[in-house]
Structure 1
Amino acid sequence: MWVASSTASVLRPTTVALGKFDGVHLGHQRVIQPILQPAPNKAGEMEKWGDEANSPQKSVTPQAQELTYSTVVTFRPHPQEFFTGTPRTWLTPLDEKVQQLRSLGVEQLVLLPFDKELSALSPEDFVDKILVQQLQCQRISVGQDFCFGKQRQGTAKDLQLLAANYNIPVTIVPLQTHTDNLSDSGFVSLPPISTSLIRQCLESGDIKSANLCLGRPYTLFGIVIQGQQLGRTIGFPTANLQIPSDKFLPRQGVYAVTVSILSDIPDATTPQLILGVMNIGNRPTVNGTNSSVEVHLFDWSGDLYGQQLAVQIIEFLRPEQKFASLEALKNQIQQDSTIARKILSGEC
């Protein structure tokens, strides 16, 4: 998939899905669907970033009957980060976003530099200068709640009207809720799926709802680094993960997880899932002061240092707590492991 950090290197013409797309959740996927096209024969294509010699070959969109690139257009930095000056953590940092979009069949990701100049564009100028002139857009898809232009003055309906002046069709996708894909599942209906809702669910430990919104388990990717090795002394060795600083972490506590060792997996091989438990927190029982992410793998042994793990979070077990002794901590981890095994094997 081609990733362009400015409009100067964009592959044109385009069919565009517009938005922030943090999480690439089910609602985002519905917005992206109208711009996707049947996958052409791309034998021998090399997927590289910023290497135009190996850019994807054009393909035909049935909607426009023209050669176009299916393109997700988003903003970097996040508009909220630009206006507040506060660094933002992401459900899907850039590497993860690229991975998710590629799996959907998107051919190109454009990261519009969100700066003073872009934020000052009127809705009319955004359509004319960005979508028409710079992206050569042939079709657009946005969510029902999409806003754009200076002070978010433009709505999805405004975009539809403005784009019509250039004969560009705009699909406005209704907001998706849990109940769109669920019938008699017993889940309580929640507000429309959004990045904010998923972050709230993760902050409260409601992993099931977060995963429902995402359409997949929320996953942490990290490199195994040297820890204090205290887990080994109580019979529960853990892998300490270095998580990207811009990755959003869920509530502190203990989780049932499944783990893949990505460093050992060839590209064409499905990774083996290893069951385990994960702790996110400061380890108060051993007077820890810094937040850490530690994973204990069930029925597994070996050297993991330097390897990349993908940790899929399945269920929140309990908040982090301080125990009176290491023995008490050991007993609790044993209980956590027993519960996690039952959950992960479908017995609960």
Structure 2
Amino acid sequence: MWITSSTQQALTPTALALGNFDGLHRGHQTVMAPITRGALGENSPLISTVVTFDPHPREFFSGQRRPLLTPLDEKVQQLEAFGIEQLVLLPFTQALAHLSPQAFVEDILIAQLQARRVAVGADFCFGRDRSGTAAELRAIASPHGCEVLITPLHCQGSERVSSSAIRQALAQGDIASATAGLGRPYALQGVVVQGQQLGRTLGFPTANLQVPDHKLLPCHGVYRVEVVGDCLGKSPLLGVMNIGRRPTVGGELQRTIEVHLLDWTGDLYGQKLTVYLDKFLRPEQKFPSLAALKAQIAADCQGARV
């Protein structure tokens, strides 16, 4: 997939989906569906493109780093799997934030990206002070021969699927709701680094996973997970993951992510793993002794097999 932060280097003409797309959940997938290569047809000259903003507008205005459901590497993987050919990361600057809705559509989408089809969600807002609506986008773009497709909000039962709702579900350990909203299990990707090796002394060796600093982590606790990696073979392996600060052994300033693989032994240092969250087993807790901790880990492993 072609990735660029410059509209001058973008492949054109385009059929594009426009939005922030953090999580690439079911609602985002519905927005993107009409601009994939499969939807356009193999002979279409249009380049299937997702246009998003870097940094996230909320991060730009607040000045605070925003943890992401899908950091760039993960976003690229998901977009490629969905059939997107190009990702344009528009630098979100003060100048971009001050563009009027008409200038944004005519100067960036039509003139620079040569958009012939634009897909957005029904709640999409853009331009100075978020004053532009999806209906206004259609009114501005249509005279230029650009088709605008407005996708209704995607709901799960009576609840709207959104990045915010998925974040909240992960914060509460509601893995089932997060999985349903995403259309896939929430995943943590990272490299195995050396830890204190306490798990090994307890009989439950763990892989300490280092994930990107801006990756959103679920609530502290123990999870049933499935793990994949080039070093693990073709089938996912069952495991138990703990996220927290290790209160039983004095605590940590930084959160740690420790994964114990059931029925597997080997050296994982330096290996890249993807850990898929399947079920929240219990909150993090402090035990009165290492023996009590060991007994609980054994119970967690047994619970993960059920």
Q: TM-score, normalised by structure 2?
A: 0.97
Deviation beyond 2 Å, 4+ runs, structure 1:
37-40, 58-61, 262-265
Deviation at 1:59, TM superposition (A): 5.0
Q: Is 1:285 aligned to 2:263, yes or no?
A: no
Q: Is 1:20 aligned to 2:3, yes or no?
A: no
Q: Is 1:117 aligned to 2:95, yes or no?
A: yes
Counterpart-to-counterpart distance in 1, 2:37 and 2:107:
25
Matching residue within 154, 161, 164 for 2:142: 164
Q: How many residues of Structure 1 are paired with residues of Structure 2 in the alignment?
A: 305
Q: Which amino acid aligns with 1:30?
A: T
Determine the structure 2 residue equivalent to 1:298: 262
Deviation at 1:232, TM superposition (A): 1.0
Counterpart-to-counterpart distance in 2, 1:262 and 1:23:
24
* Residues 254-333 of structure 1 mapped to structure 2, 5 A cutoff: 254-262=222-230, 271-289=234-252, 290-333=254-297
Matching residue within 165, 168, 192 for 2:160: 192
Determine the structure 1 residue equivalent to 2:179: 211
Q: Is 1:60 aligned to 2:23, yes or no?
A: no
Alpha carbons 1:24, 1:214 under 8 Å: kept: yes
Deviation at 1:167, TM superposition (A): 1.9
Determine the structure 2 residue equivalent to 1:249: 217
Counterpart-to-counterpart distance in 1, 2:42 and 2:279:
41
Structure 2 unaligned segments of length 5 or more: list them. Answer: none
SS, match of residue 15 in structure 1: strand
Alpha carbons 2:33, 2:39 under 8 Å: kept: no
Counterpart-to-counterpart distance in 2, 1:148 and 1:158:
10
Determine the structure 2 residue equivalent to 1:52: none
Structure 1 unaligned segments of length 5 or more: list them. Answer: 41-57, 62-66, 180-188, 266-270, 343-348
Q: Is 1:339 aligned to 2:303, yes or no?
A: yes
Alpha carbons 1:22, 1:195 under 8 Å: kept: yes
Deviation at 1:216, TM superposition (A): 0.4
Deviation at 1:38, TM superposition (A): 3.0
Counterpart-to-counterpart distance in 1, 2:229 and 2:36:
31
Deviation at 1:264, TM superposition (A): 5.9
Counterpart-to-counterpart distance in 2, 1:326 and 1:261:
30
SS, match of residue 259 in structure 1: strand
Counterpart-to-counterpart distance in 2, 1:91 and 1:164:
33
Determine the structure 2 residue equivalent to 1:226: 194
Two-structure CA RMSD over aligned residues (Å): 1.4
Per-residue CA deviation, residues 112-136 of structure 1 (Å, 9 max, x unaligned), is: 0000110000000000100011100
Q: Is 1:9 aligned to 2:6, yes or no?
A: no
Counterpart-to-counterpart distance in 2, 1:156 and 1:143:
7
Q: Which amino acid aligns with 1:167?
A: G
Deviation at 1:209, TM superposition (A): 0.2
Q: TM-score, normalised by structure 1?
A: 0.85
Counterpart-to-counterpart distance in 1, 2:69 and 2:236:
22
Deviation at 1:37, TM superposition (A): 2.5
Q: Which amino acid aligns with 1:28?
A: H
Per-residue CA deviation, residues 195-235 of structure 1 (Å, 9 max, x unaligned), is: 00100000010010000000000000010000100011111
Per-residue CA deviation, residues 87-111 of structure 1 (Å, 9 max, x unaligned), is: 1111000000000000011010000
Counterpart-to-counterpart distance in 1, 2:154 and 2:303:
33
Per-residue CA deviation, residues 29-64 of structure 1 (Å, 9 max, x unaligned), is: 000001113399xxxxxxxxxxxxxxxxx9533xxx
Q: Which amino acid aligns with 1:258?
A: E
Deviation at 1:169, TM superposition (A): 1.1
Alpha carbons 2:12, 2:47 under 8 Å: kept: yes
Counterpart-to-counterpart distance in 2, 1:9 and 1:288:
49
Deviation at 1:160, TM superposition (A): 1.0
Counterpart-to-counterpart distance in 1, 2:85 and 2:229:
27
SS, match of residue 22 in structure 1: coil
Alpha carbons 1:59, 1:68 under 8 Å: kept: no
Counterpart-to-counterpart distance in 1, 2:27 and 2:230:
28
